[in-house]
């Protein structure tokens, strides 16, 4: 399956920090046109696309969060340098000299600055960098900058998509790769003229990076019987890693989540997803993530009686850094797996 790089690029490059998902939401709504029977936005800003199934006896929900890790402006000093707080988890050592966009009255390009190594003391050179050590330099004086920027504006990384061999490299693959996956699953269903087993709710959630905040209210409203979390996962398949640390590897296919620190996937769903992958000759790999969680936890719990929950995870290198990398073949496998999973549910034995 070829990957629509132009669409993936637009999705990844669109800004949308937690709580500020307006632009990525508008893009998602545009791309969903004609792909679902009903499309709506709830009070939190989650986008819900309903694709009618062969039966309305049960409900299926898949969730991909739209938000990306970012920053929020907290202060502009007398010289025009911008201070900020993170919104989502960052590894500070990756920020040095990275370009960012401040989304004020217009987008302002800036660069992350910190104390030059030439004038650091030996103690400072050996210290682990902290977020507070950084500022944003826009090259503009305060008087000019304040025409466009104020406290409360959000900030995102600036990193256009590049293809590296079989991979793509860009900011915000966590979790825009899954936004792409969910849109392309709906497109695949339409192209193949397939109906899901049951009514299928494709939900693009908000504020996952600061505590899974959007998925819970959406799940409470939809009340799915079956659910699939869609997110990236660690591919620590690089020099210095050991086999037991790798979690997943690029090029080894879609990852089927077994557990992470927030959820233990229903063993029935894990068995079902493995069987679907094998039946459809879809390359897959198991995923156990030692730390970190996804919307899957909310989909499982925030439903009266719970839902039968699992997750399709996209192996990704350099997660929560200024750029991230994933393999195009893995993305294609994830689309194939989710599409097959939502279409074959009625034929499985779901008894304990």
**Residue 14's CB: how many other CB atoms inside 10 A?**
21
- Residues 24/172, Cβ–Cβ less than 8 Å: no
Q: Which two tokens stand for residue 328?
A: 């195009």
- Residues 112/96, Cβ–Cβ less than 8 Å: yes
Query: Three-class SS of residue 324?
Result: strand
Q: Which of 21, 31, 208, 252 is catalytic?
A: 208
Beta-carbon contacts of 68 under 8 Å, excluding residues fewer than 6 positions away, are: 15, 16, 17, 24, 88, 156, 157, 171, 172, 174, 175, 176, 209
Q: Is position 208 annotated as part of the catalytic site? A: yes
CA 284 to chain centre: 19
Q: Measuring CA to CA, which residue among 24, 13, 76, 14 is closest to residue 46?
A: 24
Give me the active site residues, please: 208
């Amino acid at each position: 399956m070829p990957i629509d790089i132009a669409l993936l690029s637009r999705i990844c490059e669109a800004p949308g920090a937690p709580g500020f998902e307006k632009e990525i939401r508008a893009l998602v709504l545009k791309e969903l046109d004609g792909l679902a029977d009903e499309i709506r936005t709830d009070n939190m800003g989650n986008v819900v696309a309903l694709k009618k199934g062969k039966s309305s006896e049960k409900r299926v929900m898949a969730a991909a969060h739209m938000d990306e890790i970012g920053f929020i402006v907290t202060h502009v000093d007398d010289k025009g340098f911008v201070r900020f707080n993170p919104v989502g988890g960052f590894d500070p050592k990756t920020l040095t000299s990275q370009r960012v966009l401040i989304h004020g009255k217009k987008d302002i390009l800036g660069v992350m600055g910190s104390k030059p190594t030439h004038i650091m003391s030996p103690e400072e050179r050996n210290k682990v960098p902290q977020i507070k050590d950084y500022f944003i330099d826009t090259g503009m004086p305060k008087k000019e900058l304040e025409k466009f920027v104020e406290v409360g504006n959000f900030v995102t990384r600036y990193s256009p998509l590049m293809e590296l061999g079989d991979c793509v490299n860009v900011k915000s693959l966590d979790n825009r790769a899954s936004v792409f996956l969910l849109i392309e699953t709906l497109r695949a269903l339409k192209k193949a003229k397939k109906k899901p087993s049951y009514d299928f709710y494709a939900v693009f959630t908000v504020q996952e990076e600061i505590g899974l905040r959007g998925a819970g209210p959406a799940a409470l409203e939809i009340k799915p019987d079956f659910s699939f979390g869609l997110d990236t996962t660690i591919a620590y398949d690089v020099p210095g890693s050991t086999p037991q640390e790798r979690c997943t590897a690029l090029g080894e296919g879609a990852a089927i989540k077994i557990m992470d620190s927030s959820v233990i996937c229903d063993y029935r769903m894990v068995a079902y997803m493995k069987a679907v992958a094998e039946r459809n000759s879809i390359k897959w790999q198991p995923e156990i993530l030692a730390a970190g969680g996804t919307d899957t936890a909310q989909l499982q719990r925030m439903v009266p009686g719970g839902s039968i929950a699992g997750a399709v995870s996209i192996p990704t290198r350099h997660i929560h850094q200024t750029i991230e990398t994933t393999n195009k073949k893995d993305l294609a496998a994830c689309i194939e797996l989710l599409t097959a999973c939502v279409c074959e549910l009625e034929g499985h034995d779901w008894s304990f």
